[in-house]
Structure 1
Amino acid sequence: MLILKEDRMKYLRPFIIALLFMAGTKPLLAQFRKYSNEFLNIGAGARGLGMGGAQVAGVEDVTAGYWNPAGLTGVKNDPQLSIMHAEYFAGIGKYDYAGLAIPTANNKRTIGISVLRFAVDDIPNTLFLVEPDGTINYNNIQTFSSADYAFLLSMAQELKSSREGRRVSFGGNAKIIHRKVGSFATAWGFGIDAGFQVIDKKWRFGITARDLTTTFNAWTFTFTDREKEVLYLTNNEIPIKSTELTAPRLVIGGGYNFKISKSISMMAEANIDLTFDGRRNTVISSDPLSADPKLGLEATYKDVFSIRAGINNFQRALADGDTLNQKKVWIYQPAIGAGFKLNNFYIDYAFTNLANQSNPLFTHIFSLKFNLKKKEK
């Protein structure tokens, strides 16, 4: 005989949660999701993460393909390659990034490609843990992975430059998104980003429109007859094709670069992240507009060694010591970092908090960057 639905559900819960986390189960034709494709908001490069994600105005390297594609025009003469790896939640989640920027012969245009992956591996599939007679068979447990991929194809054009060091640039991304949950669910999506940047000797300004045309993910689901039977007997809806939409997002930033001494320079930047998909838990929260500020600071010694700090993700949350759950306080997400340059090689490090200052979930992030020197003829 079959085990009771309530008992079987406790064994199916890990599988169901993992599946619903990525895909949802309702067969909707299309819907906006506030937090869809959130892996695209983590960041790229330890330098930017160490500055709290405040990068849209001052980024001038290969990671601009992620932060602001217009900044790719800062890559001159030689191609530039960057790679990054990070692990979250004690290695459960793995996040990887790789980017390549190639300037054209006249240094007025740059093309780039960026690849991002966020994955959780070895998720238990407990669909068949319980045999039809009600006994538990642990040999039936299999594992699967839930992985998100993004491929960003970038192009940036320098619109104007001057002898005084001012550069005006425009850039855009075409991004392809692929999400896969084991053999059960697959999604493909497409979106477009656009960016604008002005960099002077001291002042910097940047603006990026992400998901400019509304990014979509089209989901398809595949279950065997046996899997459908288990889902049906445990009173779970069997997913059908669905589409989720990601609303546009606007990031505006300004920065200032100044000298403290002949050897030490300082770069300060502030960004504000504007979303248009309804009220969020941010500093400015309204319907439909919400605003989330980001602040970053970088000090550099002789263009060789840098230290960084940043803060973002301001939210109102219940105070930990309030047993009545009535008092709310402001929390935030801090970050620090450092960088070192040796000829054409850069190594950057960031120490960031995934939660907030009262409930720390820190992680270490390293990234490498290379200038690929062309062979002289």
Structure 2
Amino acid sequence: MLETTAPIVVIGAGQAGLAAASKLRDLGHAGPLTLVGDEPEPPYQRPPLSKAYLLGEMARERLFLRPSAFYAERDLTLLTGRNATEIRRDERQVMLSDGSALPYQHLLLATGARPRLLPGPDLQGVLVMRSLADADRLAEAVRPGLRLLVIGGGYIGLEAAATAVKLGLQVTLVEAAPRILGRVAAVETSDYFRELHRAHGVDLREGVGLAHLTEAAGRVTGAVLTDGSHLPADLVVVGIGVLPNIELAQAAGLTCDNGISVDAYCRSSDPAIFAAGDCASFPWRNQRIRLESVGNAIDQAEVAATNMLGESCEYQAKPWFWSDQFDVKLQIAGLCGRHDRVVTRAGAGAGRSHWYFHGDRLEAVDAMNDPRVFMVAKRVLEGDRPVDAAFIADPANDLRALLAS
């Protein structure tokens, strides 16, 4: 059992970092607790940045996860605008960019992820969407009528396109793969969102990638695509995925594999160092995965915090995600990677859902504007309950019966 007065340091002041720090205090840790963030702001929500915040529907203050008084009330030292530059494992110290050193008994790495960038020089007008600063830059740049090119047809790119249309921009989205959402969803879900975006005026092009951007005086003017076509553009948003921030861990000699490798207890290859959130890869159903979601960040961080105090609590991941595009709320339960069959169920009104099966086992569900189906599906997956595909396909059947079996 860790002494409740031992110093703990958390690197990364996002959802995972704050969740861990809060949980440590809830569990009775009374020692020095320091939360280090490289951004100037206190911990804030990222999901609204590309939607409500960019649309002007959410004030900046509402983004922050806790009021400023929270940190003093919980005796939590919050250091913003500082990078962790080195982990000295033998000395159990973290060195910061301001030259200071933080001693630790246990250390949590919640360093998150960063956007993948395009190769080549930085150009004005080429933007990404990850941080509050990114959202502010985009908000300053957008004006009705401007031509926006979105590169990438995953959820990041699709959400950016949907918001830009609402702001009055002319939007083109290009995806190099044969279809949008190709890595994360079935053909049926890709078809649904392709139709949705085109119905709202997005020029959506699949199977064609970016050859290179064009520029004048250091500012982007357009793009040449791999099919030889040229697209003029006033702005470009790059949404081609993220990379886990593992450099600090790698430099310290920690094992990394698509993230900082942790065991079922969120512990890294150094038993004094834990990791959680977007930066951590962990064992799940005989494979190693890394999840990028608010739910995972919070749940995994709380398990890590519990184990830092000497418990042996396994992290049982329950993958779920959401995406808001135009008037559609997509809610996802589970992971669809192993599916070999998809069953579509019509829902109430415009709602519908896609159920992913691998053999007879339910793997995941995509629910579009169907929150009741999502909640049932989430519970079914968490309980690993048997599911009859024919029962799912008939909209006359009450899905709540699945919870009684």
Check whether TM > 0.5. Answer: no
- TM-score grouping bracket, smaller chain normalisation: under 0.3
TM-score where L is the length of structure 1? 0.23
Higher relative contact order (CA 8 A, sep 6+): 1
TM-score where L is the length of structure 2? 0.22
Structure with bigger helix share is 2
